[in-house]
Amino acid sequence: MREVIRAHGHEHVAATHETTFELTTDDWLTPAGDCIVGIEADRAPSDFDDDFVAACRDPDATITLTLETETASQTVQARGHPDLTFESDRSAVVRTSTYVDDRTIAVGADAAATDLDRDLIADLDADGTLTCTLSV
């Protein structure tokens, strides 16, 4: 099963957060948003298919996120969690920890914003487009 989120970069994409990365449907970004790697996302967790959500709630689930821009890509491995709600209609957050809130779509990730490929981030800082494919 898979879901796809398309988002846009922004001049303030810094991707320096050490425990998360985030895609948001917001159309703005301030320098304080150091975990946000994409804005104006075309989907939020609340839009995901019920079967996909159920699969992600399995604590043994492996969630693979492939982040792609025009010139770079990176794959991040994460896990599911039984407390994932996928209720947020605004933000999708991937966490290296096991903390869960309504924005969390995966936990135990092997990369946070600061770990993402700098070519990928450079594309996003230059207002590039991002495709995030989630597979479970």
pLDDT, mean of each 10-residue run, the chain (136 residues)? 97 97 97 96 98 97 98 98 98 98 98 98 94 98
- How far is Cα 27 from Cα 79, in angstroms, rounded to an integer? 28
Q: What does the pLDDT read at residue 127?
A: 87
Phi, psi (rounded to 5 degrees) for 42: -80, -5
Domains defined for the chain, CATH in brackets = 2-135 (2.60.120.630)
What count of Cα atoms within 13 Å lies in the side-chain half-sphere of residue 51? 4
pTM of the model: 0.97
- How far is Cα 54 from Cα 123, in angstroms, rounded to an integer? 33
Percentages helix, strand, coil for the chain (3-state, rounded to 5) are 15, 35, 50
